[in-house]
Amino acid sequence: MVMSEAVRSFLDRAGVEYRIHVADSPTRTAQEAADRLKVPLSVIIKSIVFTDRKDSPVLAIVTGDRRVDRGKLSAALGMSKVRIANPESTLRLTGFEVGTMPPIGHKNRITTVIDRTAMGFTRVYGGAGTAHTLVEIDPKDLARLTSAVVADISE
């Protein structure tokens, strides 16, 4: 199983250093990814799609050992309220299924917020667009490539 072509082409065009890891079984949760890679849960990143009242998408990125605080996420973006997008909306808005969500390479540009905790690592591991692949990348590259807001958005 190879990574998503959209993710690969995005990263290759960006010219950043990255590495793809292929797991022998699906890694649909942060814990599964940490177990397969034999790394701490804290260096796994979860990319979660939220929407506001107008159905505008927001991608929240937090480390695998944390949860998104919706109030903090809303405040970081100056929005009144956000909710997790349902699986159908997530696929429609990004081109990726829940459980495979990469932090980059979506079919449309999405406002991205990265939790400040993730920025404390030199390498993080996140979804690469398929259930069996993970991308290893510097979180500073993710922030730059997505023009992300870096804020405290975790519980």
pLDDT tens readout for residues 76-115:
999 889 999 999 999 999 999 988 899 999 998 999 999 9
Question: How is residue 46 annotated by DSSP?
Answer: E
The residues pairing with 126 across neighbouring beta strands, listed in sequence order, are 135
Pairing state of beta strands 18-22 and 57-63?
A: unpaired
Q: Averaged over 117-121, what is the pLDDT?
A: 97
Output the pLDDT for position 80.
Answer: 83
Pair of tokens at residue 76: 């970081």
CATH of domain 5-151: 3.90.960.10
Question: What does the alpha-carbon distance between residue 59 and residue 102 come to, in Å, rounded to a whole number?
Answer: 10
Question: What does the alpha-carbon distance between residue 127 and residue 78 come to, in Å, rounded to a whole number?
Answer: 27
Q: Are 113 and 58 in contact (CB under 8 A)?
A: yes
Cα angle 125, 128, 133; round to 5? 85
Cα angle 86, 59, 64; round to 5? 90
Question: What does the alpha-carbon distance between residue 90 and residue 62 come to, in Å, rounded to a whole number?
Answer: 17
Per-residue 3-state assignment (H helix, E strand, C coil) for 106-145: CCCCCEEEEEHHHHHCCCEEEECCCCCEEEEECHHHHHHH
pLDDT tens readout for residues 28-83:
899 999 999 999 999 999 999 999 888 889 999 999 999 999 999 999 999 889 99
Pair of tokens at residue 2: 């190879």
The total of other beta-carbon atoms located within 10 Å of residue 59's CB is: 24
